[in-house]
Chain A
Amino acid sequence: DAKTTQPTSMDCAEGRAANLPCNHSTISGNEYVYWYRQIHSQGPQYIIHGLKNNETNEMASLIITEDRKSSTLILPHATLRDTAVYYCIVRFGNQFYFGTGTSLTVIP
């Protein structure tokens, strides 16, 4: 019973927006959605999180559907350094549930 579902991989042209979807249809009403990314041989890096409203910070924007069953992470102008595995995460008790993530490749 997957808690999050993401595409296995995506490509994006450098300078274009990267839109990474996530399905979290079993999320409960008081759980946040967190997005992290992991570059090869590094630990996961926090990007953004949200509960109900759309959020934006210096790294990305997060769009959460009204029913909270899915969300989209938007990197507005992808660079080669954004090539990484992106994880959409929901909490499950004390745990972050990572799933398998989306491998994003930014193409020059």
Chain B
Amino acid sequence: GAGVSQSPRYKVAKRGQDVALRCDPISGHVSLFWYQQALGQGPEFLTYFQNEAQLDKSGLPSDRFFAERPEGSVSTLKIQRTQQEDSAVYLCASSPGLAGPLGAKNIQYFGAGTRLSVL
């Protein structure tokens, strides 16, 4: 079956531009996560959706970052007025169950990511 798909794979933006990054999770997965990965660092949590509800956005670095999942499947991460410090790989992951200590259902399956470069 298809895994998590992210598009575009690469995005170059001029400083100040708005960008939109798309994530297609595994069909039927309830939970969806966004992470930001700076060069040489591990992924860092941005936000979490349970179906269409955004239950945790504590990792979003500023109000320029906005995420949505309106129908509980595809999600979009939008960054407004991009800055050079936004350059990173943005990873999306989905999970079949709810977030919480439930073992196998909480395995997160990751996409290949979108590499954003802000010039």
Residues of A near any B CB (own CB < 8 A): 30-32, 34, 36, 41-46, 49, 51, 85, 87, 91, 93-101
B41:A100 contact, CB within 8 angstroms: yes
**Chain B hits for A99, CB < 8 A:** 42
The secondary-structure label for the interface of chain A is loop
- The residues of A that contact B55 with a CB separation of less than 8 Å are 94
Q: How far is the CA of A101 from the CA of B44 in the complex (A)?
A: 12
Find A42's partner among B56, B107, B112 (CB 8 Å cutoff): B112
Q: Tell me, in angstroms, the Cα distance from A99 to B41 when the chains sit together.
A: 8
Q: Are B103 and A43 in contact (CB under 8 A)?
A: no
Q: Would you list 28 pairs from A and B whose C-beta atoms are within 8 A, ordered by A residue?
A: A31-B101, A32-B103, A34-B107, A36-B110, A41-B112, A42-B113, A43-B93, A44-B93, A45-B110, A46-B108, A46-B109, A49-B103, A85-B42, A93-B99, A94-B33, A94-B45, A94-B48, A94-B55, A94-B56, A95-B33, A95-B45, A95-B59, A96-B45, A97-B45, A98-B35, A98-B44, A99-B42, A100-B41
A95-B48, A96-B45, A100-B41 in contact; A44/B110 too (CB < 8 A)?
Answer: yes
Chain B residues at the A interface, C-beta cutoff of 8 Å = 4, 33, 35, 41-45, 48, 55-56, 59, 91, 93, 99, 101, 103-104, 106-113
Top 9 nearest A-B pairs (CB, nearest first) are A98-B42, A43-B110, A95-B45, A94-B99, A94-B48, A94-B56, A30-B101, A44-B110, A43-B112
